[in-house]
Structure 1
Amino acid sequence: MSSNKAKDLIDSIKNKGKNLEAEMSFFDHLDILRKHLLRALAVVTVFVCLAFYFTDFIWHDVIMAPKNADFWTYRMMCKLVEAFPSIGQEFCIKEIHAKIINTEMSGQFTLQMNSCVMAGVILGVPYLLFEIWLFIKPALLEAERKSASGFVAFASFLFALGLLFGYYLICPLSINFLINYTVDSSIENTFTISSYLSTVLTLTLGSGIIFQLPVVIYILSKLGVMTPKFMRSTRRYAAVLILVVAAVVTPTADPYTMLIVAFPLFLLYELSILISANIEKKKKKAELAFYNNK
């Protein structure tokens, strides 16, 4: 009995040592992640300071621009009407009547702070992705590192493309629709500046996040959660959802505007299917090579 107790005690000490080693390893990884995030925070802080320096440009030429009738998107829409009269004159937006007010004492100061912080975060996204890549890179195999070597560039490109799509298409169309929408003609639309800023940021950032769909599908396909067969089988549901989103944000009932908004989203979904299919093909090829070498 004494020998068994001694053996149990030794095994308990060994297991305790293994648990302690694993715990230390976890905290070591947590400390490394903290350093990566601190570096990313430092870069974002620099961009926030730059945003404060260019406050006038950010507010007048970026944030407030979509509510002006001479915005690039509205001018291009009018040129499309001139080239294709069958689209309809309602597609050409020549004036936007919007009254935007501030209702809080410190409202404009807070808005300046928030807008500069968000500008710093947006500009710092590529570096944040780079730090995330540096953190997960040591845990990957050599083949996985090579296959994911363009992760930062690809994700940053998609994010920038999504921002441009949201800012130049979704945002102005939605703002024009919401400004002119009335339940009753006796009700005047007067918007607070915080509501306007929230709408612009939500639509623009939301588009940037949506455009990360291929990256998400890539990760899920690597984990075996998502397959091209499943995405192809749900294509009709995805198409309906995309058309619903496009119909909500477009200012008119004509199909041309809705298709302009929906087309890039369709392309994004098809690109995700191709990415998932490519990963599945590589997995099957690797499995075949493994069994042939046995």
Structure 2
Amino acid sequence: MLPNTDDTEPGIDTDSGTNTDTRTGIDPRASIEIDSETGRSGLLERPVLRAAHGKQLATQDRVAEEVPVALVFNGISHAVMMCTPRDLDTFAVGFSLTEGIVSSGSEIHDIEVRMHDDGHAQVQLTLVQRAFASLKDKRRALAGRTGCGVCGIESVQLLDLEPERVENTGFVQRLADDALARAARELPAHQPLMRACGGVHAAAWCDAGGAIRYAFEDVGRHNALDKLIGQLVLAREDTRNGFVFLSSRASYELVRKSARVNVPMVATISAPTTLAVSIAAKAGIRLVSFCRQSGYVEYGAAAIPSG
């Protein structure tokens, strides 16, 4: 979400005890729908003590929900991710693609989302035999390794730091001059969870004019991107003819995930990391950060005029 320059904190009215935005009179949480598969909104109420302007108020506030989500492929548990319990079908599809488990959406035959009484979710995917055999080979290669998944010399070799170049369809050349400014202006309207509680990231898909076609939120920025990519696959969108707009920084895994599905441009609200810049350059992805309505910063040698 773009930085708030108003001294008044949105969502706090210490006199009334409500979460109504004192500047607009609108409750920012009212438009959040319940997810049809998990039965969750992505928000939970918790008791809080608000302190502002010398006053204290005991009340309730909504907090972003975070639950364990087990991804199960052909009956075998592969990973557990911490996610916002919304749009888990699209998340599972996007994760499968961006982690190289499948090479296309057609390799996923069935998806079933289950929410358990203890609060965790499970997504069961049925893969074609070829993709499942490849996944089992990867699991055998990882057997016996410990740590965070990107730690140690053996794990570093699995990071896939040499992406293939994305296919150049001329999309970047067709991009409207004000596309990034429009995306930055429109993104907050697509962040109902962020408006309600803060603490979540958004990933949006924009056309050449900067109009937002799809947007997803999650407590994890990589999860939000996986949800977005999953939706693009399920909707049969051409990932070469649009760009990803993220409310977060640009880190390695976000650019790498985008490269896997041939996204030509990644734009972010916050800063990039050096590895993100490197991966974008190798993949031929245009990387733009610090996006505001007033301007942006583009990274990479291609962005710097010669001479």
TM-score range for the pair, normalised by the shorter chain length: under 0.3
Structure (1 or 2) with the larger CA radius of gyration: 1
TM-score between both structures, scaled by the size of structure 2: 0.20
The structure with the greater share of residues assigned to strand is: 2
